[in-house]
Amino acid sequence: MKETKPEYLTSKELFINMKNPPVYNHKKSYWEQTTDVIQFYEEEIRKITEGVMIGGYYIHPLLYYNLNFFHTPIPTKNNYGRMEEIIRVPPLTDNFLYFVDSYHDCEKTDMGMYMFGARGVHKTTNISCVTTWLNVTKPNGTTTITGGSDPDLKQISKTIKVALTNLHPAIYIPTLVNDWDKQVELGLKLKDGNTRFTHSYLQITNADAGKDKKSEKGAGGNPVGYILDEGGKWDPRELLRSALPSFITPDGAKLVHILAGTSGNDTLSKASKEMLSNPEAYRLKPMDWNRLERNIPEEAITWNESKKDKFSIFVPGQMSTRLDVPKIETNLANLVGINSPELKKIVVNVTDWEKATKRILEMIAEQKEEDGKDKVRMYFPLNIDDIWLTSGANPFPVSLINRRIKELQDDQQFKAVEFEKEGSKTVYKFSNKKLADLEYKGSEVDAPIKMYIDVPQTPPVEDMFVSGMDYYKLEQADDGSLGALYVILRRNLAPNSPCERIAASYVARPYRQSEFDVTARDVIKAYNAECNLEAADLGFQKYLDLRKEADKYLCKAFTFTKTKDGKEPSLNSRYGLYPTTQNNSFRIKSTVEWTKEEHVVGQDEEGHQIIKYGVDFVDDIELLQEMASYRKGGNYDRIAAFSHALVYAQRLDEKGVVPKKETMRNQQEAPKKKVNQIRNPYGRRRHNPF
């Protein structure tokens, strides 16, 4: 006769939905329970280890664990209408389903995941859930969590402790070593007090606690889980690179490495931006837009332009629970389109996409200042461009800059060239050299010249073009710098150029510094663009001095620093701008204001003014990317070079110096002309002497 299993062993119900399961005796250990209890919980352990099919839908083991055994503090109204935190199984949301589905996709493709986006999507709770699940279901392994912020890591530790403490006794694992600053050890200890059986390990580490050695903090022995938290606040690249080899086996990846972050931080590391935009280089799963857009109305999709961008896993602002738009209660059957009585019992709270989108747009419109609008976009990003916005520390208009970068990605404006001499003329040939990366990564960088305005066939008149340089100090030294030279055409000297335009840029670090000097001189000479450089960097000046050409190609020393009586101090250098605190501050401030400056360029069909900003006239993507990621005290070679050129052009404007065949600039300054002003809503008014 065929043995009939008890109904609870054949049931595909969730544990929390089962009626009258065998009673677990909390006073006894697991192995002292009755046979039917052990059989029942063996089946539950299988479900949180392997998953289960319910109503024709595969419930991933992480999802089954979350639905039935994971506990965390949930803000809940009590009987008196006040909010308090109740420790319980969290309600299922489309946020967590998105996380689990992405995790499952990564398991199938042997890749990791970098989820980045809105605040208020329960990132800490998700990390705690996956961590405790791994520690319960993966014996003899180590789960590592690394971050760059003690407060963030302490909050994760707190939620993990709550989850481990409140596990059902059938799957509860005692803590043998409780050192949350180094390593937590879970396992069993026999009654003799000496014999221990370790089940799993958990390490929570602050990568910035020892910055000089943080790249050495890879995964622990036999890693089964690897999580990097808030990657936008620090540089996790070397740490991940050092750990990746320990994840790979001949049969595939042994774990899904997880990176998580939220937009709207005071800083968004350039490193994290590079990782998100280049996911395959870090074995991260690229964005699956179809996965995100399941069940979303077309009119609520705000990221269509982002689909052509490379990214890992985007979490849009509409999913945030910090919006004053409640989620809609439905069930898993409706969400996945399967008519199943079992799935109908599983409640899911899903995003009200139309109302959430409308509310975010209202919140943006309610802000009067651009900075306020940007903060709303940062916290509740509607597309990937909003991810790159940062708060507070960056004075540049990041949203305008990102818009301009998008335009240039579709329509590049430069030619990659090298200059040659043909008799007395400078000509160019196209170059196949690789452009310099945004950041200097060591070793030589032999890059081409980026030409935006063709080099003139005959030398242009003096003071039509000017240039600025940021020099690097040591040959083949890892000082983090590239050499940068920018040539700009002064304003109103060409059609549709109401402000300065970039004519050419050269950003490189060849094997020999003299190679940079030669190319920089050729560019300056071709455009007859007198160069303003940092007076303290004498390398390029010495090169020109040896050729007796410093007076010809370098601008005379000047300063924006004033003495107490309002006069310019005596200058200790012959050429360029000395890097005093006042000069550097003025240079950056002037560049920021220039990017925000308004220019009326025409009228539309309805007679409204067409306004462009200074940043709309920048054709150099890498310069824009530096502006978008700018932080005071950082190293920004392109901004430094461009700003030196810009303030020199502005100085010539203020002094009334106009382009002419015979210059007076090295003899005496031309008399100051009457100027017209161009409206600038950001405060400063730029003068236009032409």
Residue type, 681: P
Q: 81 lies in a domain?
A: yes
Question: Directed axis angle between helix 621-628 and helix 637-654, to 10°?
Answer: 100
State the pLDDT confidence band at 670, using cuts at 50, 70 and 90: very low
Contacts of 575 (CB under 8 A, 6+ apart): 533, 535, 541, 550, 554, 555, 556, 557
Segment 265-279 mean pLDDT: 76
Cβ–Cβ under 8 Å, residues 485 and 491: no
Q: Give the DSSP H or E segment for 332.
A: helix 332-336
Q: Write out the residue range of the structural domain in which residue 533 sits.
A: 410-665
pLDDT surpasses 80 at 89: yes
Q: What is the pLDDT of residues 368-403, one digit of tens each?
A: 877 788 889 989 999 998 887 765 568 898 888 988
pLDDT at 1: 43
pLDDT of residue 572: 76
Q: What is the radius of gyration, based on Cα positions, of the chain?
A: 31
Q: How far is CA 140 from the centre of its chain?
A: 35
What letter would DSSP give residue 558? B
CA quadruple 677, 678, 684, 689: dihedral sign:
negative
**Is 57 a domain residue?**
yes
Confidence of residue 212 (pLDDT cuts 50, 70, 90): very low
276: three-class secondary structure by DSSP: helix
In the predicted model, is pLDDT for residue 230 greater than 70? yes
Continuous segment of H or E residues that includes residue 352: none
Residue 678 has pLDDT above 50, yes or no: no
Give the pLDDT confidence score for residue 509 in this predicted structure: 92
pLDDT, position 685 = 37
Q: Is residue 347 part of a domain?
A: no
Give, in degrees to the nearest 5, the angle at Cα 457 between 456 and 458.
90
Q: Given this model, what pLDDT does residue 594 score? A: 95
Confidence at residue 4, expressed as pLDDT on a 0 to 100 scale: 53
* 214 — pLDDT class (breaks 50, 70, 90): very low
Final residue belonging to a domain, choices 87, 121, 137: 87
Q: Is the pLDDT higher at 227 or at 535? A: 227
CA distances from 254 to 52, 112, 222, 257 (A): 21, 11, 9, 9
Find out whether 224 and 136 touch, Cβ atoms under 8 Å: no
Q: What is the pLDDT of residues 184-200, one digit of tens each?
A: 999 988 776 677 889 99
How many CB atoms are closer than 10 A to CB 369? 8
Look at 214 and 392; give whichever has higher pLDDT: 392
What is the chain's mean pLDDT, rounded?
86
* Residue 217: per-residue pLDDT: 52
| Side chain identity, residue 483 | G
pLDDT over threshold 70, residue 664: no
pLDDT value, residue 437: 85
CB 506 within 8 A of CB 447: yes
Number of domains in the chain: 2
Final residue in a domain of this structure, among 87, 111, 131: 87
Q: Which two tokens stand for residue 7?
A: 């109904």
Are 388 and 405 in contact by the 8 Å Cβ rule? The answer is no
- The average pLDDT across 505-518 equals 92
What is the CATH classification number for the domain harbouring 450?
3.30.420.240
Helix (H) or strand (E) holding 161: helix 150-165
Domain contains 318: no
Let me know if residue 148 belongs to a domain.
no
Residues contacting residue 2 through CB under 8 Å, at least 6 positions apart: none
Does some domain include residue 481? yes
Q: Are 417 and 428 in contact (CB under 8 A)?
A: yes
620 or 206, which is more confident: 620
Token pair of 341 as six digits: 């009585």
pLDDT confidence tier of residue 511, bands split at 50, 70 and 90: confident
The pLDDT assigned to 106 comes to 96
- 37 lies in a domain? yes
**Residues in Cβ contact with 328 at an 8 Å cutoff, skipping those fewer than 6 apart:** 349, 350, 351, 352
Q: What is the per-residue pLDDT for 395?
A: 86
Mean pLDDT of 465-491: 83
What does DSSP assign to residue 214?
G
Q: What is the pLDDT of residues 318-337, one digit of tens each?
A: 999 999 999 999 999 999 99
**Close Cβ partners of 679 (under 8 Å, ≥ 6 residues apart):** 598, 600, 685
Q: Are 320 and 379 in contact (CB under 8 A)?
A: yes
| Whole-number percent of the chain with pLDDT over 90 | 57
Confidence of residue 219 (pLDDT cuts 50, 70, 90): low
- Distances from the Cα of 572 to the Cα of 435, 554, 556, angstroms: 36, 16, 12
- Residue predicted with more confidence, 53 or 391: 53
The pLDDT of residue 687 is: 37
| Strand order through the sheet with 501-508 | 425-430, 415-422, 449-451, 501-508, 483-489, 465-470, 530-533
Better-scored residue on pLDDT, 437 or 592:
592
Please give the share of the chain, as a percent, with pLDDT higher than 70: 88
pLDDT greater than 80 at residue 140: yes
| Contacting residues for 622 by C-beta, under 8 A, at least 6 apart | 435, 436, 438, 507, 638
Last-in-domain residue among 87, 121, 156: 87
Task: Report pLDDT for 222.
Answer: 80
Give the three-state DSSP class for 197.
strand
Judged against a pLDDT cut of 80, whether residue 465 lies above it is answered with yes
Q: Give pLDDT, residue 231.
A: 83
pLDDT of residue 477: 45
Residue 58 has pLDDT above 60, yes or no: yes
Does residue 605 belong to any structural domain of this protein?
A: yes
